[in-house]
Amino acid sequence: MTNRPILMLRTVGLLILLASGVCRPLFAQSTRETIDVVLPRVVKIFGAGGVANLEAYGSGFLISSDGHLVTVWSHVLDADVVTVVLDDGRRFEAELLGAEPTLELAVLKIDAEGLPHFDLSQATEAGPGSRVLAFSNVFQVAVGDEPVSVLHGVIAATEPLSARSGRYDVSYDGPVYVVDAVTNNSGAAGGVLTTRDGLLLGMIGRQLNDSESNTRLNYSIPIMELTSTIRQIQTGDFSRNRDDLSSEVANNFDAIDFGIVLVPDVVERTPAYIDVVLDDSQAESEGLLPDDLIVFANNRLVHSCQAFEAELGQLQPADDLTVVVRRDGALVTVTLTAPRTLPQR
């Protein structure tokens, strides 16, 4: 009886803390419970790839009960059909709602309802030393209802990715969580980093190698850097999709103006392999090689020779052209510059 007022005071105090946001309820009470809660919110994605060491699979995570999901912007999405597989094995064809390559971000939609998902309003931040979990379909361990992989780790640092300019080449230049765990391998991009109690922290990024030591950077993009754009795409208010070329047809430059000869364009989606690099050309001086596969041009996905030539056609004199090629399983980035005058055709 004498303890009841104290218990009531403690209960009222806890309710005040929860209401004020000082203390938020945990997603789960143990690591095992967290894993059980998060796994249904992570999806497997299958699409383009399978050539030149480009994997045809990736990861993503659900952000609404009616099938909106987030993943990394990559070549996997450049397919006539992109398939999303849920934790329970159900398979859906996905629609690409929008993408922002400078954030490494894409938002997809599947036709489903009542799905477990991350609430973006409950996403959080963490600092160095925080213990975290990483969920992804790394190395395609799951193709149906098998669970994706889970890694334990610690946030080693939070720092701008741009601080590594010249060592890690990627379009995103904002802050990242550098993770003390091997999180960024084939298929992991688009997976999630969470707190140990299951709150969403970030999206696992693409594979990046240190150009000086060839070591892998294990990192995640903080979800707070992506939330605004995700909501804009989700609601249809996003006005800039970098994958859409201007409707105006232009032919200002082509590959030969940079010293690049592509393989013969024999089908509609002939991959943009470099066949020949001309001697004493800009492409040669910047280190491009025959058999390099061009996968990005100025942050736009290149799915064919025609797409690459269309991108070059939009350039203005003296514009920079950042090209990302796949070479021996690694991504190599070079920057070219368009001629200062338009060529005479």
Query: Do 223 and 259 fall into the same domain?
Result: no
Mean pLDDT of 96-105: 88
Query: Do 168 and 85 fall into the same domain?
Result: yes
Residue 22, domain member (yes or no): no
Which range among 62-71, 103-112, 149-158, 330-339 shows the weakest confidence by mean pLDDT? 330-339
User: Would you state the pLDDT for residue 209?
Assistant: 67
CA distance 314 to 250: 6
> Which of 235, 264, 285 is where one domain is finished?
235
What is the C-alpha end-to-end distance of the chain, expressed in Å? 95
Query: Do 204 and 267 fall into the same domain?
Result: no
Residue 242, domain member (yes or no): no
> Which of 203, 235, 267 is where one domain is finished?
235
Structure tokens at 135: 């969920």
Q: How many domains does one find in the chain?
A: 2
Query: Do 154 and 227 fall into the same domain?
Result: yes
State what percent of residues in the chain have pLDDT above 70. 81
Which range among 90-94, 311-315, 324-328 shows the weakest confidence by mean pLDDT? 324-328
Query: Do 187 and 42 fall into the same domain?
Result: yes
Residue 170, domain member (yes or no): yes
State residue 55 phi and psi, 5-degree precision.
-70, 150
Query: Do 222 and 310 fall into the same domain?
Result: no
- Could you tell me which of 122, 135, 147 has the C-alpha nearest to residue 63? 122
Query: Do 179 and 315 fall into the same domain?
Result: no
Residue 15, domain member (yes or no): no
Query: Do 158 and 275 fall into the same domain?
Result: no
Dump pLDDT digits (tens) for 160-177: 875 443 444 566 778 999
pLDDT of 249 above 70: no
Contact 269, 304 (CB under 8 A): yes
Query: Do 100 and 204 fall into the same domain?
Result: yes
Domain of residue 294 covers 255-337
Strands (E), the chain: 42-46, 57-62, 68-72, 82-85, 91-100, 105-109, 131-136, 149-160, 175-179, 192-195, 200-204, 208-209, 216-217, 219-222, 260-262, 274-277, 293-297, 300-301, 320-327, 330-337
Dump pLDDT digits (tens) for 181-240: 989 888 999 999 999 999 999 999 988 765 556 677 899 999 999 999 999 999 888 765
Query: Do 266 and 177 fall into the same domain?
Result: no
Helix (H) or strand (E) holding 6: helix 4-20
Query: Do 63 and 111 fall into the same domain?
Result: yes
> Which of 206, 235, 264 is where one domain is finished?
235
Residue 10, domain member (yes or no): no
| CATH value at residue 158 | 2.40.10.120
Residue 101, domain member (yes or no): yes
Q: Is the dihedral angle over the CA atoms 194, 200, 205, 211 positive or is it negative?
A: negative
Residue 9, domain member (yes or no): no
Dump pLDDT digits (tens) for 19-38: 433 334 445 568 999 999 99
Query: Do 302 and 229 fall into the same domain?
Result: no
pLDDT of 62 above 90: yes
Residue 41, domain member (yes or no): yes
| CATH value at residue 294 | 2.30.42.10
